[in-house]
Amino acid sequence: MIKRSRGAADKMSKGVQFLMKKNKIDVLLGNGKLKAKGQVEVTDKDGKTAVHEAKHIILATGARSRELPNLKIDGKTVIGYREAMNLPSQPKSMIVVGSGAIGVEFAYFYATMGTKVTIVEFMPRIVPVEDEDISKELEKIYKKKGIDVMTNASVEAVEATKTGVKAKVKTATGEISLEADVVLSAVGIAANIENIGLETLGVKTDKGKVLVDKYYATNVAGVYAIGDIVPGQALAHVASREAIVCVEAIAYNEKKYNHKPAVVDYNNVPGCTYSTPEIASVGYTEKAAKEAGYEVKVGKFPIPLPVRQ
């Protein structure tokens, strides 16, 4: 299954490469770093460097798995998203730390394959950014499926054992010890803002993200940033939209385009979680809408459980 999924991803990547060629976009493979105003230094895999010049530079270096200080990712017993998509063999047991979209997606996938999965979530409910009803329903379904769900719980320490890993978990009722073949750290992302020359040009950051205006311009003229390295939801369609707004605004400012782009409304972004059942949401949750001062009417529709459980 993993081989097939990687094959599909490769195919899509080749499709994008084809589109680059078709649209006459040069792709340089290497590590890019801001060198000076209007200059990017690219180091290729052989260590050779070359400086490229451009009037406008858009940073889009994305993100990686966030690491907790007491849960360092070693790629073997404590893994991140990248390894979870590519495990060479199926673990018999897995502790998933964090129950955001990615955590519950991997938990569902591995549990369906027969892995004994335990979710450890720091917050009082799983998928904490969704409506409370959704969290309750998903927890019920996951438990029925045999997934252990621990909320109000945190992994304090992990130690390697002969067969895998032992985790010390703090719960509301005391500390317990869990053993598993592998721990998946799914506690969010960290933006790739290091070693890309932000300091060289004085590009401002805050809380690990690059600061931008609503057209994705940084505080340094000619340098822009989009996607997971800027504040806002870390989602692929958000990154794409930000890129379009950014490029159209550049063209507008250069008087090459007469339409000022509509800015992204971050309160109106759809999100999907590919568990079973799937979760879809858009806009405010009920609680957030109330907190924002809206009068809220609630409609509820029971949805039959999918046959594929």
Ligand X SMILES: Cc1cc2nc3c(=O)[nH]c(=O)nc-3n(C[C@H](O)[C@H](O)[C@H](O)COP(=O)(O)OP(=O)(O)OC[C@H]3O[C@@H](n4cnc5c(N)ncnc54)[C@H](O)[C@@H]3O)c2cc1C
- Told to check if 192 binds ligand X by CB under 6 A, we report yes
- Told to check if 107 binds ligand X by CB under 6 A, we report no
Q: Segment 6-35, which members bind ligand X (CB under 6 A)?
A: 31-32
In whole angstroms, what is the distance from residue 267 CA to residue 283 CA? 5
In whole angstroms, what is the distance from residue 195 CA to residue 299 CA? 49
- CB of 32 or CB of 128, closer to ligand X: 32
- Told to check if 281 binds ligand X by CB under 6 A, we report no
- Told to check if 239 binds ligand X by CB under 6 A, we report yes
Give the nearest distance from C-beta 205 to ligand X in angstroms: 15
SS3 168: strand
As beta bridge partners, residue 53 has: 39
Q: Residue count at the site for ligand X (CB under 6 A)?
A: 18
- CB of 63 or CB of 107, closer to ligand X: 63
78-79 and 49-53: which strand pairing? Answer: unpaired
- CB of 150 or CB of 198, closer to ligand X: 198
In whole angstroms, what is the distance from residue 62 CA to residue 226 CA? 9
- Told to check if 62 binds ligand X by CB under 6 A, we report yes
Of the ranges 54-62, 133-141, 150-158, 252-260, which one interacts with ligand X (CB under 6 A)?
54-62
- Told to check if 277 binds ligand X by CB under 6 A, we report no
Helix or strand run (H / E) with residue 143: helix 132-144
80 and 97 Cβ atoms separated by less than 8 Å: no
Which two tokens mark 263? 């800015």
Give the nearest distance from C-beta 3 to ligand X in angstroms: 17
Among 57, 71, 78, 81, binds ligand X (CB under 6 A): 81
- At CB < 8 A and 24+ separation, what contacts does 11-16 make? none
- Told to check if 270 binds ligand X by CB under 6 A, we report no
In whole angstroms, what is the distance from residue 293 CA to residue 287 CA? 10
Give the nearest distance from C-beta 100 to ligand X in angstroms: 10
How far is residue 162 CA from its own chain's centroid?
32
- Told to check if 196 binds ligand X by CB under 6 A, we report yes
- Told to check if 224 binds ligand X by CB under 6 A, we report no
- CB of 221 or CB of 280, closer to ligand X: 280
In whole angstroms, what is the distance from residue 247 CA to residue 233 CA? 19
DSSP letter at 128 equals T
List residues near ligand X by CB under 6 A. 31-32, 60-63, 81, 102, 192, 196, 227-228, 234-237, 239, 274
